């Protein structure tokens, strides 16, 4: 079991460029999440998905897009990169619980992608 994998590990972008951060999980989890973590801060939720074809915004969605065509993959797209998007990006997944009882659902995080926009 690889768990949650993210590529690339590091990336430097120029202002205005675009890129896709890849996230894959092999645990057959229904729920997937994208967070960003700025230096010295906690994680902020960008987008999440409760299943293939279903996505929703988190706290800080502006400047990002997501799609979920399969259970395993949840790519995050940055359009027109800006210096404010310099951050470490974490993808996570969780199984979700029957009956929508998500209070005890545990999230499993990937190793992160460190992105710098210059």
Q: How far is the CB of 14 from another protein (least distance, A)?
A: 25
Cβ proximity to another protein, 49 vs 85, nearer residue: 49
- Maximum alpha-carbon separation in the chain: 45
Going from the C-alpha of 116 to that of each of 25, 31, 77, 94, the distances in angstroms are 24, 27, 15, 28
Residue 2 burial (CB count, 10 A): 9
Phi, psi of 88 (to 5 degrees): -105, 130
Given the rule CB under 8 A, which of 11-19, 45-53, 69-77, 79-87 is the region that contacts another protein? 45-53
Nearer to another protein, 19 or 97 (CB): 97
N residues, the chain: 118
Compute φ and ψ for 48, nearest 5 degrees.
-145, 165
Interface with another protein includes 111 (CB under 8 A)? yes
- Judged by beta carbon, residue 17 or residue 58, the one nearer another protein is 58
Any contact of residue 92 with another protein (CB under 8 A)? yes
Choose between 14 and 101: whose C-beta lies nearer to another protein.
Answer: 101
Exactly one of 13, 25, 34, 48 binds another protein (CB under 8 A); which one? 48
Q: Is 110 a binder of another protein (CB under 8 A)?
A: yes
Q: Please identify which residue in 1, 42, 62, 98 interacts with another protein, judged by CB under 8 A.
A: 42
Neighbours of 36 (CB within 10 A): 23
């Amino acid at each position: 079991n690889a768990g949650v994998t993210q590529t690339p590990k590091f990336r430097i972008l120029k202002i205005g460029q675009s890129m896709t951060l890849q996230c894959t999980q092999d645990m057959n989890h229904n729920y997937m999440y994208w967070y960003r973590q700025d230096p010295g801060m906690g994680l902020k939720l960008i987008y999440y998905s409760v299943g293939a074809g279903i996505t929703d915004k988190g706290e800080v969605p502006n400047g990002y897009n997501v799609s979920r065509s399969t259970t395993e993959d949840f790519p995050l797209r940055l359009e027109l990169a800006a210096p404010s998007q310099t951050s470490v990006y974490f993808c996570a997944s969780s199984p979700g619980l029957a009956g929508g009882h998500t209070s005890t659902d545990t999230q499993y995080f990937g190793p992160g992608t460190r992105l710098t926009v210059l």
